[in-house]
Amino acid sequence: MHTLTIAELAAGLRARRFSSVELTRKVLERIERFNKGLNAFLTVTADAALEAARRADQELQAGRGGPLTGVPIAHKDIFCTEGVRTSCGSKMLDNFVSPYDATVVANLKKAGTVLVGKTNMDEFAMGSSNETSFYGPVLNPWDPKRVPGGSSGGSAAAVAARLVPAATGTDTGGSIRQPGALTGIVGLKPSYGRVSRYGMIAFASSLDQAGVLTLTAEDAAYLLRAIAGFDPRDSTSVDVPVPDYVAALDAPLKGLRIGLLKEFFDAGLDRQCGERVRAALDVFKSLGAELSEVSLPALPLSVPTYYVVAPAECSSNLSRFDGVRFGHRCENPRDLLDLYMRTRGEGFGAEVKRRIMTGTYVLSAGYYDAYYLKAQKVRQLISDDFRRAFEQVDVLMGPTTPTPAFEIGAKTDDPITMYLNDIYTIGANLAGLPAVSVPCGFVDGLPVGLQIIGPVFSEAKLLNAAHGYQQETSWHRKIPEAYA
Amino acid sequence: MSPAEEKRDSDWETVIGLEIHAQLATRSKIFSDSSTAYGAPPNTQASLVDLGYPGVLPVLNGAAVRMAVKFGLAIGANIARRSIFARKNYFYPDLPKGYQISQYERPVVEDGALEVLLEDGTRKTVGITRAHLEEDAGKSLHEGLKGYTGIDLNRAGTPLLEIVSEPDMRSAKEAVAYLKKVHTLVRYLEICDGNMQEGSFRCDANVSVRRMGASKFGTRAELKNLNSFRFIEKAINYEVARQIEILEGGGSVVQETRLYDSDRNETRSMRSKEEANDYRYFPDPDLLPLAIDEAFIEGVRQTLPELPDEKAARFAREHGLSEYDAAVLTASRELASYYESVLAALGSEGKSADSKEPMTAQKLAVNWVMGEFSGALNRDGLEIAGSRLKPQQLAGLLRRILDATISGKIAKEVFEAMWGESADADAIIESRGLRQITDTGAIERAIEAVMAANPAQLADYRSGKDKLFGFFVGQVMKAMQGKANPAQLNELLKRKLSS
């Protein structure tokens, strides 16, 4: 039961082969059994989950409910969940119980899913390895010495280890796709504005986007259909119709124009990873797709651009954590300044502080034009490059990450090396484009991801392509041995 | 003014620019749906958005935009087709998000002007650089909390329109005249209640002085905590004197923020430029640029009322009021509309029957609305809306003056009775027997009695002491309990005394 996809679980629930309560019990058992080793879950909501499963079963028995009714899921701990601790992976919010549900949480609740718990993450989503979490690193189910990627590392590990069939994530610079690739599952980052950010604790508001981590593109389609759409509480969500992503999955891929991202096949790309990605492209070719190489000259500027824009926004977004209204507050503050300094000094970890300081610097008088404003201009150039590319091709493809999962501790001393791990994923965030990572093979027993990027609001096309590929391959059926 | 002060005034020129914060009269806050009502128990009107909870997002209130545009149109400004909300970053406990959402580089209103009428009758145009939308902060409470500071976030997120003038004013009086003009305008437009005590209309003043004839501005100080028209004038005058004294003593003015202390009538340094925050403004990524199209602007234009200047000009033109009367009357929209209601109720009854002092109904109405009526409101601390005397009632009183049923003097007595009892003029005139006596026979009889009772004064008058005429008027009026028609009395008395 634990190896089934959402589509398979939905069929099983509908056919009464098992109930949601049975399924949820199984999920809770596996979390209980494996989480100590993985550190993927920060909070498990067993009682509420079983209660929700019972209600789902009643719905199903009454012949009501949709394909997600009774399906267990987990939320990244960045999504506010009413009555449940929402820590964002930080000591700052260790004691924070959200009084409301994020729109993503509310939508999935309405769709009948069963929330089993909240997953570990890099602190405030700032990290690419899940090592910056206040609650310690998450281990990669394929190799416990290695990172699962980040910042949605807990969600990725939980799905890859088959603890839960799907989990939500957020992607600011690759935080869904990179852990998806490093754990051998599907990670979908929708277009900016496709999914509401309301109730998602902000890291970098102009880049953050909610998405999902699943075993298949088909499952991602089911979940995206439930969470996408305009939200009057998020002014940056976009009021365009939500297509039926599930119905679009099976369109033939013959004639699909695929652009190979020249800049992604660079010197930094691990040779074997490159081979797996090229092999994946051959599969598309065999399905009738047309391949051509496309160059985006401004794309190599993504990482420096991102590390100006994202810290700038985060330095302001994280100002609200001041010890006054919620979250951590230092003991016996002497005065206001002491309250601020010790609360924030104690509550935030090193990486968060580094980014707040970087962001404060680039927004400061005298530096704003040289950094923030220039970064915005480069961001526009990158967007323009993508726009031009999509005049020639339907989708762009390349690797999700330069290497497979690296070892825990390998890059923690050198932030720049760590930042470069997101070199292939950041572009889509800067341009607000949808992108998906699909498992496309293994290197030395570690998963490798193929990244597909499309024009804004082309999620249906991306999922169609990913689904077509998964129909021809079985990488997504591979399960880490210890969790089979 | 002492000679020294006069000399100073001719040596130095004062330069003033004002930043006015007008709280917009929307029902809900600028970025959340919480109520903006004043005076609720602390933190009962603060939603998760106002509290800056993790994950919440701002959504712009369209009503606030409409009001800003309304103001922009009323001052002949440019309405930006695209303006940007920015974050002003600083830490303070009553600023929940650690930043204030405001407008910085691209405000919604730019480049307007207002004309003000000064006391000496001259007119002056004050440029308005910009007006932008922003959210208010909460309040810190220090009293009765035993060393703690309380935070009330009811006000956090209340929409403000910050109206920034050019440094066009040259005296405290000009500054106050301009401030009053803006105050009048926002109330006409019904975009702000103008209540200075509750802080819905606040003002900071940038004040500097320079040698007469100098082309460069002097270093300015920003004065805060100016919460009444009177304090603003006093604070500016104090500050100007302070700066002149420094400069004449060979020193230099420091650019700083100064707080006005109304108890001591002085300004005190709050923080200098060196201590000033670097607010690290940048566009708020949670809000899209504010796009305003022609149709929206036209829609708002349709809702513009007759503006104070237009109304004053119409009163002067159509009612024959002096420029001064028209300006004072239109300074308050409520007062002007009360006046118009009185006139409407009076109908076109034309001029008063008083042949000595013929007066138009309009002039009579102005005098009474601005005189007795406003005086009574002030005395009792009432707003027009709270007055029990309806315009129709006041018109009823004026009608009796116009048709000479009562004299102006008696009318004041009737007015007081009406104010107290909120009864109609006719009822009071009847019940108190105040109807004016126009019966020539009765007046003549009273005159004859007074003349008989005062033979000595009569002899003096007739021997040339003209001044005694007033004495006889007073005596006859007294005998007739003030009810004699004054014009008739004068005429008859003159005739009798000289016969």
Show residues of chain B in contact with A315, CB under 8 Å.
89, 280
At B351 the pLDDT is 52
Is A369 inside any structural domain? no
- Rg over alpha carbons for chain A, rounded to the nearest Å, is 21
Please indicate if any CB of chain A lies within 8 Å of the CB of B130: no
Kindly state the average pLDDT of the residues A168-182.
Answer: 98
Query: Which residue among A88, A336, A363 sits closest to B280, beta carbon to beta carbon?
Result: A363
Model confidence band, residue A61 (pLDDT cutoffs 50, 70, 90): very high
* CA distances (Å), origin B422, targets B401, B414, B416, B418, B433: 18, 11, 9, 5, 18
> What are the residues whose beta carbons fall under 8 Å from the beta carbon of A173, sequence distance 6 or more?
A128, A207, A306, A310, A422, A425, A426, A429
> What are the residues whose beta carbons fall under 8 Å from the beta carbon of A129, sequence distance 6 or more?
A122, A137, A147, A149, A150, A153, A406, A408, A411, A412, A418, A421
**Torsion angles phi and psi, residue A379, rounded to 5:** -60, -40
Is A28 inside any structural domain? yes
Q: Judging by DSSP bridges, how do beta strands A72-76 and B139-141 pair with one another? A: unpaired
Is A358 inside any structural domain? no
Query: Identity (one letter) of the amino acid at A63?
Result: G
Question: What pTM was estimated for this model as a whole?
Answer: 0.90
3-class SS shares of chain B: helix, strand, coil, % to 5 = 40, 20, 40
DSSP classification of residue B32:
S
Structural contact between residues A55 and A70, judged by C-beta atoms closer than 8 angstroms: no
Percent of chain B exceeding pLDDT 90 equals 59
Mean pLDDT for chain B overall? 90
Is A275 inside any structural domain? no
Most A CBs within 10 A among B33, B57, B281, hence the mutation to make, goes to: B57
The number of domains in chain A is: 1
- What ipTM score was computed for the predicted complex, to two decimals? 0.96
Is A426 inside any structural domain? no
Kindly state the average pLDDT of the residues A285-308.
Answer: 97
Of A82-86, A345-349, B77-81, B473-477, minimum mean pLDDT range: B473-477
- Dist. CA A362–CA B278, nearest whole Å: 12
Query: Does the beta-carbon distance from B282 to A326 stay under 8 Å?
Result: no
Of A61-75, A163-177, B446-460, minimum mean pLDDT range: B446-460
Helix (H, G, I), strand (E, B) or coil at B49: coil
- Nearest Cα of chain A lies from the Cα of B350 at a distance, in angstroms, of 59
Kindly state the average pLDDT of the residues A28-57.
Answer: 98
- Nearest Cα of chain A lies from the Cα of B374 at a distance, in angstroms, of 48
Query: pLDDT tens-digit profile of B118-172?
Result: 888 899 999 999 999 999 999 998 887 887 889 999 999 999 999 999 999 999 9
Q: In which element (H, E) is residue A291 found?
A: strand A290-294
Q: Which residue has the tokens 């009360």?
A: B338
- Dist. CA A358–CA A363, nearest whole Å: 9
Kindly state the average pLDDT of the residues A365-381.
Answer: 96
Of A51-55, A109-113, B435-439, minimum mean pLDDT range: B435-439
Does residue B356 register a pLDDT over 50? no
One DSSP character per residue, A423-450 reads TTTHHHHHHT--EEEEEEEEETTEEEEE
Show residues of chain B in contact with A209, CB under 8 Å.
none
Helix (H, G, I), strand (E, B) or coil at B243: helix
- Dist. CA A76–CA A74, nearest whole Å: 7
Q: Which two tokens stand for residue A133?
A: 């979490």
- Dist. CA A231–CA A56, nearest whole Å: 25
Lay out the sheet containing A166-170: strands in order across.
A41-44, A114-119, A72-76, A166-170, A210-214, A186-189, A435-443, A446-453, A395-399, A257-261, A290-294
Chain A residues 165-194 within an 8 A CB cutoff of chain B: none
Is A378 inside any structural domain? no
Structural contact between residues A217 and A438, judged by C-beta atoms closer than 8 angstroms: yes
Buried b (16+ CB within 10 A) or exposed e, A367-379: ebeebbeebbebb
Query: Identity (one letter) of the amino acid at B354?
Result: D
Q: What is the torsion angle, in degrees rounded to the nearest 10, for the CA atoms of residue B358, residue B362, residue B364 and residue B370?
A: -150
Is A245 inside any structural domain? yes
Q: Which two tokens stand for residue B164?
A: 């920034």
At B486 the pLDDT is 82
Show residues of chain A in contact with B52, CB under 8 Å.
320, 325
Q: Tell which wins on pLDDT, B279 or A414.
A: B279
Query: pLDDT tens-digit profile of B178-191?
Result: 999 999 999 999 99
At B146 the pLDDT is 81
- Dist. CA B402–CA B346, nearest whole Å: 10
**Residue span of the structural domain in which A174 resides:** 6-256+435-483
Domains and CATH numbers, chain B: 3-301 (no CATH), 308-431 (no CATH), 440-497 (1.10.10.410)
Q: Give me the half-sphere count of Cα atoms (radius 13 Å) on the Cβ side of residue B338.
A: 27
Does residue B6 register a pLDDT over 70? no
CATH (domain of A169): 3.90.1300.10
Query: Does the beta-carbon distance from A99 to B97 stay under 8 Å?
Result: no
Kindly state the average pLDDT of the residues B218-229.
Answer: 91
Q: Which residue has the tokens 């006391």?
A: B119
Model confidence band, residue B353 (pLDDT cutoffs 50, 70, 90): very low
Q: Smallest Cα–Cα separation from A38: which of A114, A115, A136, A167?
A: A136
Buried b (16+ CB within 10 A) or exposed e, B68-99: bbbbbbbbebebbeebbbbbbbebbbbbbbbb
Chain B residues 282-311 within an 8 A CB cutoff of chain A: 282, 285-288
Kindly state the average pLDDT of the residues A399-425.
Answer: 91
Is A209 inside any structural domain? yes
One DSSP character per residue, A118-181 reads EE--SGGG--SSS-S-TT-PPPBTTBTTB---SSSHHHHHHHHTTSSSEEEEE-SSSTTHHHHH
Q: What is the torsion angle, in degrees rounded to the nearest 10, for the CA atoms of residue B34, residue B38, residue B41 and residue B46?
A: 20
- Which residue numbers of A are catalytic? 76, 151, 175
At B39 the pLDDT is 87
Q: Which two tokens stand for residue B340?
A: 């118009």
- Dist. CA B480–CA B493, nearest whole Å: 14
- Dist. CA B1–CA B438, nearest whole Å: 52
Query: pLDDT tens-digit profile of B105-122?
Result: 999 999 999 999 888 889
Show residues of chain A in contact with B32, CB under 8 Å.
none
Does residue B319 register a pLDDT over 50? yes
Q: DSSP strand E in B62-176: where?
A: 78-79, 82-83, 85-89, 99-103, 109-117, 123-135, 139-141, 150-152, 159-165
One DSSP character per residue, B258-295 reads EEEETTTTEEEEEEETTT------EE-TTS--EE--HH
- Nearest Cα of chain A lies from the Cα of B154 at a distance, in angstroms, of 14
Q: Tell which wins on pLDDT, B450 or B388.
A: B450
Mean pLDDT for chain A overall? 97
Expressed in angstroms, the distance from the first to the final Cα of chain A is 11
Q: Smallest Cα–Cα separation from A109: which of A172, A152, A51?
A: A51
Model confidence band, residue B7 (pLDDT cutoffs 50, 70, 90): low
